[in-house]
């Protein structure tokens, strides 16, 4: 490698990318686009259809991404294409988001198509972003850097969301909302530049770099080896199953919160404002979760967050007024980044140090699949019952199932299976 682990510029550049791509998560996935879709693009559709269409599109885009992710991750490993793929999917996501500027009243098909492309660009770029973490984290610091990445993401995403809220309030008609989509694309690309400049491409897993005409076959072969090898690590597999369940609930709350609130008659400024507060609450609490993990252990920290999430889902069933939404948004901010950051680092200490890249790619594959069932269940229950309340409370099943499986994970045994007995961190 051209730079040693722990290079300060590389760590900052890695965290800055989170500050950039989080603008898509806040403005497009969580706050402004869901409300804009319901009130503008899907104007004239039956009352429950916007939520159902949004849920189906979220699930479909994530499913497509999850199906192609294994092969892309494998090709990136054998060919040294992590940074190249990250840039390609960043551009797909950012440009698609910018074109949302063209969506007007009744353009719900175009809105969903562009959102699907943007969502796939976002989720696929995260595979290669996460896979860089083990290559830039110094020994014993992976928890800290993972948490710091989420904290910077909250600050970056929240800052641009605040600017976009001001634009919506000050500019006439839908101009502010449409310009916010352009701002996300520009912001995302701008914060990608430091990563491309300061983080070197990690070394190949292949002893010899394959030729371009054989890279696809090498990728398939490497993928088969990866899935064969993962069976040797039972504790890692159980953790991945737990993560798949509870992260589905976490992701669904992120994607469906705004459109759920809109159906309860809560105005756009309240919805976006509450979600903005979530960002700035999330930054310090992500860091605090890292400290909680170091004192009580990763499993305990994650479980605490999941119990809290279950209470949030139960409370959302009774949501009626704007202040209810504000309270729930603050509650989400207290655990959202922490659960995700500690999940990533807990997984990391059970990954064989010689093959961190491919195993983190597998982690991101499970992360993408975990975004399929929740929105789909939400959409089906909403359509069948005619009420979004049933959909939101059903998420408790994902958190309960995740806790059940997580309790079966022996992190110390997982470390031994990976040959990481020397790694010191509470389980």
Question: Residue 100: what pLDDT?
Answer: 97
Task: Report d(CA 26, CA 272) in Å as an integer.
Answer: 9
208 in any annotated domain? no
In a domain? residue 154: yes
Four-residue CA torsion sign, 78, 83, 84, 87: positive
Q: Which one, of 383, 414, 173, 211, lies nearest residue 298 by Cα?
A: 414
Residue 77 and residue 361 in contact, taking contact as beta carbons nearer than 8 Å: yes
CATH of the domain at 130: 1.20.1250.20
Residue 113 lies in a domain: yes
Q: Which of 127, 424, 152 is nearest to 286 (CA)?
A: 152
The answer to whether residue 2 sits within a structural domain is no
Task: Give the pLDDT of residue 178.
Answer: 97
Position 190 scores a pLDDT of: 97
Q: What is the span of the domain harbouring residue 381?
A: 8-200+217-418
CB 19 within 8 A of CB 191: yes
Alpha helix stretches (DSSP H) within 297-355: 298-316, 322-348
- Report if residue 3 sits inside a domain: no
Angle, helices 142-170 vs 322-348, to 10°: value is 150
Predicted local distance difference test score (pLDDT) of residue 96: 97
Which residues, including other chains, have CB under 8 Å from residue 172's CB and lie 6 or more apart? none
Q: Are 361 and 76 in contact (CB under 8 A)?
A: yes
Instruction: Give the residue among 18, 346, 51 at the shortest CA–CA distance from 194.
Output: 18
pLDDT tens for residues 102-150?
A: 999 999 999 999 999 999 999 889 888 988 887 788 877 777 888 899 9
Residue 1 lies in a domain: no
pLDDT at res. 36: 93
Residue 81 belongs to a domain? yes
Q: What is the pLDDT of residue 424?
A: 55
User: Number of structural domains, the chain?
Assistant: 1
* 378 occurs within a structural domain: yes
CB contact at 8 A, 347 and 134: no
Nearest Cα to Cα of residue 116 among 130, 100, 105: 100
Backbone region of residue 80 per phi and psi (left: phi > 0; alpha: psi in -120 to 50; beta: other values): left
In angstroms, the CA 352 to CA 360 distance is 10
Q: In the chain, which stretches have pLDDT less than 50?
A: 1-5, 207-208
């Amino acid at each position: 490698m051209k730079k040693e682990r722990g290079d300060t510029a590389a760590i900052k550049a890695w965290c800055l990318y989170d500050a950039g791509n989080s603008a898509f998560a806040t403005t497009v996935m969580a706050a402004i686009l869901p409300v804009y879709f319901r009130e503008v693009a899907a104007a004239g559709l039956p009352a429950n259809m916007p939520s159902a269409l949004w849920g189906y599109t979220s699930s479909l885009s994530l499913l497509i991404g999850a199906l192609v992710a294994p092969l892309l991750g494998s090709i990136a490993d054998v060919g040294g294409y992590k940074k190249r793929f990250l840039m390609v999917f960043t551009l797909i996501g950012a440009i698609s988001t910018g074109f949302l500027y063209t969506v007007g009243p009744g353009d719900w098909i175009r809105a969903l198509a562009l959102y699907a492309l943007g969502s796939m660009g976002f989720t696929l770029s995260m595979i290669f972003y996460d896979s860089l973490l083990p290559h830039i984290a110094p020994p014993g610091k992976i928890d800290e850097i993972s948490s710091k990445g989420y904290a910077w993401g909250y600050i970056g995403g929240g800052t641009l969301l605040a600017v976009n809220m001001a634009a919506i309030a000050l500019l006439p008609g839908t101009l502010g909302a449409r310009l916010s989509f352009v701002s996300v694309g520009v912001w995302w690309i701008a914060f990608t530049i430091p990563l491309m400049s300061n983080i070197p491409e990690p070394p190949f897993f292949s002893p010899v770099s394959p030729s371009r005409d054989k890279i696809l076959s090498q990728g398939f072969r490497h993928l088969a080896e990866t899935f064969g090898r993962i069976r040797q690590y039972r504790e890692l597999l159980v953790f991945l199953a737990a993560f798949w369940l509870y992260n589905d609930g976490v992701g669904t709350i992120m994607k469906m919160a705004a459109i759920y609130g809109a159906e309860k008659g809560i105005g756009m400024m309240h919805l976006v404002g509450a979600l903005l507060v979530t960002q700035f609450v999330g930054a310090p609490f992500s860091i605090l979760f890292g400290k909680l993990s170091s004192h009580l252990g990763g499993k305990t920290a994650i479980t605490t967050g999941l119990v809290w999430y279950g209470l949030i889902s139960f409370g959302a069933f009774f949501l009626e007024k704007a202040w209810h939404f504000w309270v729930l948004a603050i509650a989400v901010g207290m655990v959202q980044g922490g659960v995700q950051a500690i999940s990533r680092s807990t997984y990391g200490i059970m990954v064989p140090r010689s093959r961190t890249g491919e195993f983190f790619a597998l982690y991101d594959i499970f992360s993408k699949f975990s975004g399929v069932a929740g929105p789909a269940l939400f959409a089906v229950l909403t359509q069948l019952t005619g009420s979004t309340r049933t959909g939101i409370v059903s998420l408790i099943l994902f958190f309960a199932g995740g806790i059940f499986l997580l309790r079966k994970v022996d992190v110390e045994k997982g470390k031994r299976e990976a040959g990481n007995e020397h790694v010191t961190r509470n389980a």
